Amino acid sequence: MSPAAPILLVGVGGAGSSLVGRLAGSLPGTVRCLAVDADAAALAASGVADQVQLGRSSLRGLGAGGETRLGSDAAEAETAELRRRLAGAPVVVLVAGLGGGIGGGATPVLAALAAEAGATVLALATLPFSHEGERRLASARDALVALHRAAHGTVVLRNDALLQLAPASAPVSELFAETGRWISAAIEAISGFFAEGALLPLDPGALRSLLPAPGSRAAFSTGRAEGEGAVLAAARAALASPLHPHGPEAGRHEHLLVQVVGGPGLTTGDCQAAVAALRSELGGDRITLLGARIDAADPASARVSFLAASPAPVAPAPAPAPSPSPRGRKGARAAAPSPQQLFSFAQEENLRRGLFGTSAPNLFNGEDVDVPTYLRKGIRLPSAD
C-alpha cells in the first residue's frame, strides 16, 4: 500500500459497500477504498473500483440470504485474495451492517485477517432497528461479539438511535443518510490526523497506542458549532449526540483521541478547553492525543470529534503447575487457566433492553415491551440545551 494512503476503508456486505461507495468520491488521499461482498450485482452498483467478490464457487454471485455461517464460509474461501488486498495497510477501517449474512459473517473474518497482517483494525458497525425482528437482532449481537474479539476497536451505531435525529415523518432514506454522515465524520476525523498540513499531525502508529490489542471497547462521536466559543460548543455537542451512548452504560475510557477543526482564529486555549470538557466526561487518564487542523473554507464554524477506547482486559497468566507429589497419581494434570472474559460493552443487547438484556423478550402485539417506549415508537427526545 502506498505511504500516501495509510488508511484502507473496507465496506463489507451490501450496506457497508454501498456506504463506502457513496463516500469514496469525497475522501482525502490518505484513504483507499475496498468493497467486499458476495452479491455481484451489489458490488457493481457500489461504485467502488477496488472489489473482492466472496464465495464465487459456493454462492455464485448471489448473497448469503441473511445466513452468517454462509457469509463467514464465503470469506474464508477467499482468504488468499483478502490477505493480498489487506497487506501493507497500517490502519484498516471496516464498515458493515450487522444482522445480514455477509456483513455479520464476513466482517469478523476480515478483521482477523487484517490484524494478522499487522494493521490496526477499527470496525464501524451498525445494529438493526428493533422493529426488524428478534432473529435478525440476535444474529447481529452474535456477529458483534465475534467482531469485537477480532478487531482492535469496535464502534457501534444503533439504528434505533437514528430515530432521535429525525421526526417520525422523515423518510427512511434520511435515516440512512444520517448513517453515512456519521461514518463520513469518523473517517474524516481519523484520516485528518495523518493529513498534510495538520497543525498537530500524528503518525498512523499513534492509533495503535490507543487500540493496542483486539477487543478494545470504543466510542466515537462528533459535534459542530458556530460563532463565539464554537470549539467548546462543538465538544459539548459531540458529547450530547444521540449517537453517542449516555448514562451509566457509557462508562469512562482510558484512552482518548481528539480532533479539533476550526477557522484561522483557532487557538491553543480553544483546543485545551475542548479536551478538558471531553476528559471530564470520557476519561483519557492514561493517554490523550490531540490533533488540530485549520479549515479556511469554513472559518465561522468548528468541529470536534473524539475516539475513546479502553483496552481489552488481559487474561491472567496461567499458574505454574504444582510440583509432583511422591504420592500423586501418574498423569495428573494441572487445572487449566480460566478463559479470558469478553469485555461487556454498552452497545450490545443491554443497551437496547437495559436490565432485561439477558432475559427472554416480553412480547405484546409483536413488540418487545422491555425496549424503552421512545425507541419503539420513534419518539424524538428534546435536546438537553
Q: What is the pLDDT of residue 35?
A: 96
91 Cβ contact list (under 8 Å, min separation 6): 6, 7, 8, 119, 120, 122, 190, 204, 207
3 state DSSP class of 82: helix
178 domain-assigned: yes
46 and 131 both lie in a single domain: yes
Instruction: Decide: 258 and 241 in contact? Cβ < 8 Å.
Output: no
Judgement on whether residues 86 and 179 belong to the same structural domain of the protein: yes
- pTM as predicted: 0.77
Tell me the backbone φ, ψ of residue 340, rounded to 5 degrees: -65, 135
- Flag whether 226 is in a domain: yes
Q: Which of 310, 345, 367 is the last residue of a domain?
A: 310
pLDDT at 353 over 90: no
**pLDDT band at 177; cut points 50, 70, 90:** confident
Domain shared by 84 and 224, yes or no? no
Please write the tens of the pLDDT for every residue from 82-109. Answer: 999 999 999 999 999 998 899 999 999 9
C-alpha cell at 179: 448513517
**Is the residue at 324 inside a domain?**
no
pLDDT given for residue 276 in this prediction: 95
66 or 325, greater pLDDT = 66
165 with 225, same domain: the answer is no
- Work out the average pLDDT over 241-256: 76
For residues 180 and 240, state if they share a domain.
no
For the chain, what is the largest distance between any 2 Cα atoms, rounded to a whole number of angstroms?
A: 81
Instruction: Please tell me the distance from the alpha carbon of residue 246 to that of residue 372, in angstroms, as a whole number.
Output: 14
C-alpha span between 245 and 236 (Å, rounded): 14
Q: Which stretch, 8-12, 281-285, 358-362, 374-378, has highest mean pLDDT?
A: 8-12
**What is the CATH number for 272?**
3.30.1330.20
Shared-domain flag, residues 176 and 258: no
CA distance 230 to 367: 42
Of the two residues 352 and 222, the one the predictor is more confident about is 222
Quick one: cell of 76? 474464508
Catalogue the E-assigned strands of the chain. 7-12, 31-37, 51-53, 91-97, 120-127, 153-158, 216-226, 253-262, 283-294, 301-310, 363-364, 367-368
Q: Quick check: is 347 in a domain?
A: no
Q: How confident is the model over 179-197, as pLDDT tens digits?
A: 888 888 888 888 877 776 6
Select the more confidently predicted residue: 362 or 269.
Answer: 269
Query: Both 179 and 218 in a single domain?
Result: no
Separation between Cα atoms, residue 232 and residue 247, nearest integer Å: 21
Do residues 217 and 183 both lie within one domain?
no
Span 317-336, pLDDT tens digits: 445 555 454 444 444 444 43
Q: pLDDT tens-digit profile of 209-227?
A: 889 989 988 999 999 999 9
| CATH number of the domain enclosing 121 | 3.40.50.1440
| Per-residue pLDDT, 2 | 44
How far is it, in rounded angstroms, from Cα 65 to Cα 67?
Answer: 5
Count how many Cα atoms sit within 13 Å of the Cα of residue 370 in the half-sphere of its side chain.
16
The residue among 291, 310, 329 that closes a domain is 310
- The residue among 336 and 79 whose pLDDT is bigger is 79
When pLDDT is averaged across residues 332-353 and rounded to a whole number, the result is: 36
Give, in order, the Cα–Cα distances in Å from 304 to each of 20, 87, 156, 293.
22, 32, 19, 11
Higher pLDDT, 278 or 184: 278
Boundary (domain end) residue, out of 159, 192, 225: 192
pLDDT of residue 330: 44
Whether residues 54 and 156 fall in one domain: yes
Q: Is residue 107 classed as helix, strand or coil in its secondary structure? A: helix
Residue 339 lies in a domain: no
Same domain, 283 and 230: yes
Cβ-defined contacts of 44-48 (< 8 Å, 24+): 45/18, 45/21, 46/11, 46/17, 46/18, 46/20, 46/21, 47/21, 47/22, 48/11, 48/17, 48/20, 48/21, 48/24
Same-domain status, 171 and 96: yes
Query: Does residue 362 belong to any structural domain of this protein?
Result: no
Any domain includes 185: yes
Total structural domains within the chain: 2
C-alpha cell, 118? 499487522
Q: Are residues 167 and 222 in the same domain?
A: no
Assess whether pLDDT exceeds 50 at residue 340. Answer: no
The phi, psi pair for 27, rounded to 5°, reads -80, 150
The pLDDT of 69-80, averaged and rounded, is 94
For residue 299, what are the domain limits?
213-310
| Residue 354: inside a domain | no
